[in-house]
Amino acid sequence: QRPLCRLLSCPGTVAAALGREEQSLGSAETGSEDRTPKKRFSEVQKERREQAQRTVLIHCPNKISEKKFLKYLSQHGSINNHFFYESFGLYAVVEFRQKESVASLQNVTRTPSLATEAAVPFRSRYFNLKLKTPLNQTSEQPSIQCRTQSSPSSKKLFELLCCAESVDDQLNTLLREFQLTEESTRLRYLTCSLIEDVAAAYFPDCTVRPFGSSVNSFGKLGCDLDMFLDLDEIEKFSTHKASGNFLMEFQVKNVPSERIATQKILSVVGECLDHFGPGCVGVQKILNARCPLVRFSHQASGFQCDLTTNNRIALKSSELLYMYGALDSRVRALVFSIRCWARAHSLTSSIPGAWITNFSLTVMVIFFLQRRSPPILPTLDYLKTLADAEDKCIIEGHNCTFVRDFNRIKPSGNAETLELLLKEFFEYFGNFAFNKNSINIRQGREQNKPESSPLHIQNPFETSLNISKNVSQSQLQKFVDLARESAWILHQEDKDRLSPSYNQPWGLAALLLPSVANSMSLAKKKKKPASERIKNLLESIKSSSTENSTATNGR
């Protein structure tokens, strides 16, 4: 049994963390608690989108009476939900019950007349609230409760982890602390909805959908907001309306390729965001990338946004990851910890480059869980066999079909602890034959590498693509070294189980500390021997402890 609080006492912090769970996206939508109903991805997207369309964003004066503010807004209709947050000023997110309330509010809102500058009049759902007469500074104003949008500091995280009862508890704590909150999720859908209003100036029936970690249930507080401009919905309208012997088509301008069409669309939308998108700053058009995009910051929400178009496959892979995350409560906890571990050791970075990405790490965890005996997650090919006619989905010639009804997938009979899985993950990838094998979640087994990139992870839907093509040999080696070292640390702890060293970070907390292998790799000459030594040490620890193999199961 772990001492309840080995390193520090942390009154209140655990309770606070537990309290947050109730508001989090995790349990309600992804069913991370096994018995909660699991909503389909499309249902969540639809509900959130409609909610965002009834929602407004208001920049407020710092001193404001919440009660009067709500009363003022209620003139336009009842309010379902609201919250305040701070990001270079005070902001309110207000969800009305009816969409009409938004129009009513817009009707009484004026375009500011500025003394020295001129305004580009664009009537959005992002407002600025001013007080006609400033509030008396001395008057008693109950302070506004702001919802934080940021993850805990590393100090607080270490406290929480060291106070946990077991390694399993540590992984679940990390998940609770870092997963997107209800507020962050609302703000993400709202931001997409506001961007959609801007894009609609050119493409009136377009949809802007979030994808990637904002919606796949693996998003960490503060992660970027990936969105794509979906123009396919427009196509659907027109096919329904064809009747009789006539077929009406729009006169359009033709360009030589799909890619050029994408670049042209993103180019004008980028201009719109730059010229009249309220709160959109630092707009960059990155149109020559493999997947052309417009990158910008949405100042009011604080999100770094990547807007693409023609990206339905990426949305489908977000749906697949969402399913995997919801199938077993261990998946998200393990993925969050591995992502955090990778970030702590600079294996991942917010700057694009030769590093491993969070998306690749997530797919590696899924693959590892498919390889357990019995498997914790099914293969994508198996999910495809369970699909019915409604699930059928072909995008740009790629078969993206898989079952979307959770009830048709049997839960795994595997009862391994998170502690064991964490250790085995590091061991598995510390010894993986990256030089000859490819990671493939479609089949759930290693395949021969079809090309010579150091790390090969097959894109689940565009099977000829490698999602980790960018990763260099040295970054892969760093990952392998750190994985071996982490496995070794966890095995050492098992050995020391009966004589715990107090006042030292343990379990997951120990893994997040600066590493030996990392500092060794700086002194280049020693890099390989250190890693090999750890590997050999690990082998010897393992062989001497096989008779004690139940030791890691439960504390």
Residue 196 in 3-state DSSP? helix
Which residue has the closest beta carbon to Mg ion? 212
Q: Which is nearer to ligand CTP, 149 or 358 (CB)?
A: 358
Binding partner of 359, given Mg ion, ligand CTP, none, CB within 5-8 angstroms per partner class: ligand CTP
Under a CB-based contact definition with an 8 Å cutoff, are residues 313 and 467 in contact?
no
**Counting contacts by CB under 6 A, is residue 322 touching ligand CTP?**
no
For Mg ion, the binding residue among 184, 213, 379, 458 (CB under 5 A) is 213
Q: Which two tokens stand for residue 455?
A: 């790390």
Would you count residue 191 as binding Mg ion (CB under 5 A)? no
Among 45, 193, 329, 357, binds ligand CTP (CB under 6 A): 357
Selected range binding Mg ion among 184-192, 217-225, 366-374, 481-489, rule: CB under 5 A: 217-225
What are the backbone dihedrals phi and psi of residue 215, each rounded to the nearest 5 degrees, phi first?
Answer: -125, -10
Chosen residue from 467, 490, 530, 538 binding ligand CTP by CB under 6 A? 467
Query: Is residue 314 at the binding interface for ligand CTP, with CB under 6 A as the rule?
Result: yes
Q: Which does 430 bind (CB under 5 to 8 A by kind): Mg ion, ligand CTP, none?
A: none
Closest CB to ligand CTP among 160 and 356?
356
Residues present in the chain in total: 555
Q: Which two tokens stand for residue 397?
A: 């010639």
Residue 318 CB, shortest distance to ligand CTP, in Å, is 5
111 backbone φψ class: left, alpha, beta (φ>0; ψ -120 to 50): beta
Question: What is the C-alpha separation between 334 and 336, in angstroms, rounded?
Answer: 6
Residue 105 CA to residue 66 CA, distance in Å, equals: 18
Assess 359 for contact with ligand CTP (CB under 6 A).
yes
With contacts defined by CB under 6 A, name the span among 196-204, 213-221, 268-276, 543-551 that binds ligand CTP. 213-221
Number of residues that bind ligand CTP (CB under 6 A): 16
CB nearer to ligand CTP: pick between 69 and 322: 322
Closer residue to Mg ion in complex, CB, 213/466: 213
212/318 Cα distance (integer angstroms): 5
Question: Among the candidate windows 61-69, 73-81, 160-168, 354-362, which touches ligand CTP by CB under 6 A?
Answer: 354-362
Backbone angles phi, psi at 60, to 5 degrees: -115, 155
197 binds Mg ion (CB under 5 A): no
Q: Measured from the CB atom, is 214 or 475 closer to Mg ion?
A: 214
Asked if 102 interacts with ligand CTP (CB under 6 A), we say no
Q: Distances in Å between the alpha carbon of 314 and those of 212, 354, 400?
A: 7, 21, 11
The angle that helices 527-544 and 473-495 make with each other, rounded to 10 degrees, is 30
Tokens of 152: 């805990």
Q: From the list 45, 318, 453, 458, which residue makes contact with ligand CTP (rule: CB under 6 A)? A: 318
Binding mask 96-125 for Mg ion (x = CB under 5 A): ------------------------------
DSSP state of 97: S
Contact segment (CB under 6 A) with ligand CTP among 37-45, 210-218, 472-480, 545-553 equals 210-218
Site for Mg ion contains 319 (CB under 5 A): no
CB contact at 8 A, 163 and 99: no
Listing DSSP states for 53-84 in one string gives: HTEEEEEE-SS--HHHHHHHHHTTS-EEEEEE
Residue 337 as a binder of ligand CTP (CB under 6 A): the answer is no
Answer yes or no whether residue 212 interacts with Mg ion by CB under 5 A: yes
- The separation between the first and the last C-alpha atoms of the chain, rounded to the nearest angstrom, is 6
212 binds ligand CTP (CB under 6 A): yes
| 309 is an interface residue for ligand CTP by CB under 6 A | no
Buried b / exposed e along 499-508 (16+ C-beta atoms within 10 A)? eeeeeeebbb
Q: For the chain, how long is the longest CA-to-CA vector?
A: 84
For ligand CTP, the closer of residues 306 and 485 by Cβ is 306
Residue whose CB is less far from ligand CTP, 3 or 450: 450
Which amino acid, one-letter code, is at 472? S
Q: 407: which 2 tokens?
A: 């009830």
Place of tokens 């693959």: 367
Task: State whether residue 295 is helix, strand or coil.
Answer: strand
- Quote the least distance from Cβ 224 to ligand CTP, whole Å: 5
How many C-beta atoms lie closer than 10 Å to residue 204's C-beta?
Answer: 8
Q: How far apart are CA 363 and CA 368, in angstroms?
A: 9
| Site membership for ligand CTP, residue 310 (CB under 6 A) | no
Per-residue string for binding with ligand CTP, 426-465, x by CB under 6 A? ---------------------------------x------
Please give the residue ranges that form the binding site for ligand CTP (CB under 6 A): 211-213, 216, 219, 223-224, 226, 314, 317-318, 357-359, 459, 467
Please give the residue ranges that form the binding site for Mg ion (CB under 5 A): 212-213, 224, 226
